[in-house]
Amino acid sequence: MQEFMLFIKTKGDHLENLSPEEQQAHVQKIGKYIGNLMQSGKLKGAQPLEMGGAIIHGKQGNIKDGPFNESKEVIVGYFHLVAQDLNEAIEIAKANPVFENEEATIEIRPIKQMDGIN
Amino acid sequence: MSKSKIEISDKINNLFRHEYGKLVSVLTKTFGTSNIELAEDVVQDAMLEAIKQWEFKGVPNNPTGWIYKVAKNKAVNIVNREKYKRNYTTEVAHFLQSEWTVEPSLNHIFTEKEIVDDQLRMIFTCCHPSISSDSQIALTLKTLCGFSVTEIAKAFLTNEQNITKRLVRARKVIKDLDVSFEVPTGKDLENRLQSVLETIYLLFNEGYNSINDNKLIRFELCEEAIRLTEIIAQNSNIQKKSTVYALLSLMTLNASRFEARIDAANNLIDLQNQDREKWNKELLNKGLLYLELSTQQKEISRYHILATISAHYCTARDFNSTDWQNILSLYNNLIQIDNSPIIMLNRAIVISKVEGVKAALRELNGIKDKTIFNNYLPYYTTLAEFHFQNNEKETAKKILNKALELPLGSSSNLILKNILKKY
């Protein structure tokens, strides 16, 4: 077993253009998706992120505040998973209902394992 | 809490006693075992809120569902509002703090299966061996059986302060040891299960053998002990259940005679004089079924033997056709496992039926450590009865009169006086 972080990225707020009915349907779908993950013991955590916040960039002594490119994809939430391997994590990510409404990106990154301190 | 509030909460606790236990179990998983009291408070609050609402709007169609809903909302609010004040380390609390996971998480933890499993986890938490047995029983009755402090105090013939102290101690041990909300596995399970069953058997005997005048409360203790054991028996996480079924059999068989062994004046009626029509056939059959289930694994515990003995009593057509010979050989097996003075005393009674009263007297006098009998009424009545049957009326009377000088309580004194009249 290995742990993974899945970063969900969309162009702007992906729920913004949905009608209230569509939003509700989406919430239900994601609820079911998350519920299944939870029951199979694969979910360690999942949280949506607020649209605001800040980006800072640069090098010590020369850090600039963002935003830098507004049209770029933003992270709208994350999933923390436990999966057999990267393939399983990919399969789980592909089933995410976020793909049903519009273009989205999910970045799947294994969490670096620490074997203990020698 | 005001007095009237306490009365209302007593009322609702009675109605939803077992729902209370289920909710406290689920919320203990949610908040963590160090927050058991918080779980109890939330459920208590939900029930009070229910009462308040229902007083004005009437009881809804699904009152249980209503209480669950209120409790769920309160739980979510608490883990979010006190996010940084308290340290909720549980996975559930973590899930309840995220918009994405809160609903699925609530749905998951309130499924029938999860609730049943949580009750089992709660039993193991309350009966943790590091907690003293009277505190274990108090905490079990409070959290799993929905008894109020007042009711527990009544059941144990003590005051509320005393029970509150026991509860505080129990919760403190759980907190200090950071007891996990889990059913142990492997070798650990066997040992822990034994100690859980012991506590439950104590609880049962509190009801079955106490001199408490409140018959209702006493029977309820017996029922609760049986119910808790049934929760264990029905759970698929525990595979080796032979001892569980044996204890269940013992308790249901004994409980089947509950009504018949106490007369209107709350005196104990011995087996010989019990009206067998009053035995509860339903419980009796259940007990025999459990006894059968207990023999499916090759294992024998003292509960197996005690249950078989009880089954012999329950299935004899009348007192005279009781199979004393077989019961004695069961007792002979039993003392290999447990030769405590009380078992030896009961064995002596059986010996009096099989080998006569002289042999029984020899047996009884031969018991080495009699300190446990100092304030034990059945010892004096049995000893007197043996001497009486042995045509030593004066000795018998002397023993009973001596017992009357002991601080045994008024109910016991009444029993002693009644026997004296008979002699």
Q: How many contacts (CB atoms, under 8 Å) link A and B?
A: 35
CA atoms in the 13 A half-sphere facing the CB of B196: 28
At residue A70, the pLDDT reads 62
Residue type for B16, please? F
Instruction: Tell me the three-class secondary structure of B303-319, residue by residue.
Output: HHHHHHHHHHHHHCCCH
Tally helices (H) and strands (E) across chain A.
3, 6
CB contact under 8 A, B94 and A34: no
For B101, the closest of A32, A39, A46 (CB atoms) is A46
CB contact under 8 A, B104 and A45: no
Task: Please report the ipTM that was assigned to this predicted complex.
Answer: 0.79
CB contact under 8 A, B104 and A35: yes
For B103, the closest of A31, A44, A47 (CB atoms) is A31
A75 interfacial to chain B (CB closer than 8 Å): no
At residue B269, the pLDDT reads 83
Cα B346–chain centre separation:
22
Confidence of residue B382 (pLDDT cuts 50, 70, 90): very high
Q: Does residue B27 contact residue B43 with C-beta atoms inside 8 Å?
A: yes
- Min Cα separation B411/chain A (Å): 55
CB contact under 8 A, B104 and A32: yes
At residue A116, the pLDDT reads 75
Confidence of residue B86 (pLDDT cuts 50, 70, 90): confident
User: Which residues in B lie closer than 8 A to residue A77 (C-beta atoms)?
Assistant: 100
Confidence of residue B371 (pLDDT cuts 50, 70, 90): confident
Whole-number Å distance between alpha carbons of B355 and B361: 11
A72 interfacial to chain B (CB closer than 8 Å): no
Q: Which two tokens stand for residue B18?
A: 């077992």
Whole-number Å distance between alpha carbons of B385 and B387: 5
> What value does the mean pLDDT take over residues B328-335?
96
Residue B96: exposure state from Cβ atoms within 10 A (0-12, 13-18, ≥19):
buried
**Single pTM value for the model:** 0.84
pLDDT at residue B182 above 90?
yes
Residue matched to tokens 């994350």: A78
